[in-house]
Amino acid sequence: MVSALARSSAAGRRGLFSKRRAWRRRPLQDVDLILWGIPLAMTLVSGILIASTQRQAAYAEWYQHWITAAVGMGLALLLARVPLRRLQSLQWPIYGLTVASLIAVRVIGTSALGAQSWINIGGFYVQPSEFAKLAAILLLAGVLSRYPVERPVDLLRPTMVIGLPWILVFIQPDLGTSLVFGAVLLTMLFWAGMPLAWVLLLLSPLFTAILSGTLPWALTGWIPLMGVIAWRSLPWKRLALTVVLAVQGLFAVATPWLWSHGLKPHQQDRLVMFLDPSKDPLGGGYHLLQSKVGIGSGGLWGTGLMQGNLTKLRFIPEQHTDFIFSALGEETGFLGSMLVVAGFALLMWRLLQIAGKATSDFESLVVVGVGAMLMFQVVVNINMTIGLGPITGIPLPWLSYGRFAMLVNFMALGLCASVNRQSRASRGRW
């Protein structure tokens, strides 16, 4: 028995030494260059862009951006070494702690930019809503992997998981972050096997509300169409048809009231200015108009880093945060902007690959949830800066300045790297 243990120990040491020798010969062999390289490259470039937007403010924040990224990268590397099944056992405590912190924001939170979203802890401001996104993804993945959605009633559990933090974030009020929860829920439900028709039915009240305020005549075709989809895709057809039509009618009628009482004045202004920013070019429409001018002035090649006139003269308020893409467009031009968009698309493709090869449903759902969180923010932020969407206050991952958003994005990357590491180990690729 002793000799067997000795042989096993010797074999283990030989395997370890062979891995070290292989790593020395090819140090990047086991590094996922897409998963790690794209976010790091964007972070480096964004530091320069942030410095450009802050030239009249003594470069106050670009180095903080890089320092936060270094801390986030360290956390990501630590999480990449932790098997995700260990976090699965902690999903409820993590979720409960996050919800408690969101409740604490309502009691002792600090307000800024129209939202009470931060907690002051010894002079250090914490934003629980950012961490709530990851906590919700972990718990939602656990719920969906254990209780797949096969009937409409099965939607109750995942909706409750997302609904609680969504409500607490929405009433801060933080409309942008609350929208992320909805995108994550729908994407993970679809990945878990929910029919596409059900996804459309869940989204339909939103479209009904939009149509009732913009093209009310279109409701005469939209609402019957939703009824047909409900009849063909849901069980208990008569009941399903009645409920769907009632919900559509309720949203169509209640939208004016929701507009007046459900949205804050600054949120209403953002939606109105999105439709026609020229109505108030020096007020509510100023942000969007200047952003479009900055992006357009970059042309094909851009003015060069640190050379953008609108950027360095700070014509665009809060450009280093939500409107960093306008600085990118001005200083790197159309080609630089498209390179960043292509980078995000390539990253999403890699995340889908990792999710497809995951060793468990839980791990696969976590990766898809992270991908939905990141890509929803990318699409909304870029559309916002070029005038194709309302201003929602959603940052651009790894490019916008924001310490807690940066930390959460890197931590999410670490979770995906952990799944990738486990799937590679199961296939013997080391």
Q: Which residues contact 402 (CB under 8 A, 6 or more apart)?
A: 321, 395
CA distance 132 to 94: 9
CA distance 121 to 126: 7
Q: Residue 347: how many CB atoms within 10 A of its CB?
A: 24
Best CA proximity match to 412, nearest among 380, 375, 359: 375
Residue 237: the pLDDT is 86
Residue 30: the pLDDT is 62
CA distance 423 to 405: 27
CA distance 85 to 89: 7
Residue 273: the pLDDT is 65
Residue 175: the pLDDT is 81
Task: Using 50 as the pLDDT threshold, list the residues of the chain that sit under it.
Answer: 1-2, 4-20, 22-28
Q: Kindly report, residue by residue over 303-345, the tens digit of the pLDDT.
A: 878 776 667 666 677 777 888 888 888 888 899 999 999 999 9
Sheet holding 115-121, edge to edge: 110-112, 115-121, 124-126
Class of residue 269 by CB neighbours under 10 A (exposed 0-12, middle 13-18, buried 19+) = middle
Residue 343: the pLDDT is 95
The residue whose two tokens read 């339909």 is 204
328 is written with which tokens? 């990118």
Q: Are residues 91 and 144 in contact, defined by beta-carbon separation less than 8 angstroms?
A: no
Best CA proximity match to 387, nearest among 302, 274, 225, 253: 274
Residue 428: the pLDDT is 62
Work out whether strand 110-112 and strand 115-121 pair parallel, antiparallel, or are unpaired: antiparallel
CA distance 403 to 387: 26
CA distance 323 to 321: 6
> Cα 223 vs. chain centroid, distance in angstroms?
30
> Cα 235 vs. chain centroid, distance in angstroms?
33
93 is written with which tokens? 């405590």
Q: Name the residue ranges covered by the structural domains of the chain.
A: 32-422
CA distance 373 to 165: 15
- DSSP secondary structure, 163-213, as one string: HHHHHHHHTTT-HHHHHHHHHHHHHHHHHTT--HHHHHHHHHHHHHHHHHH
354 is written with which tokens? 């990792």
Residue 189: the pLDDT is 94
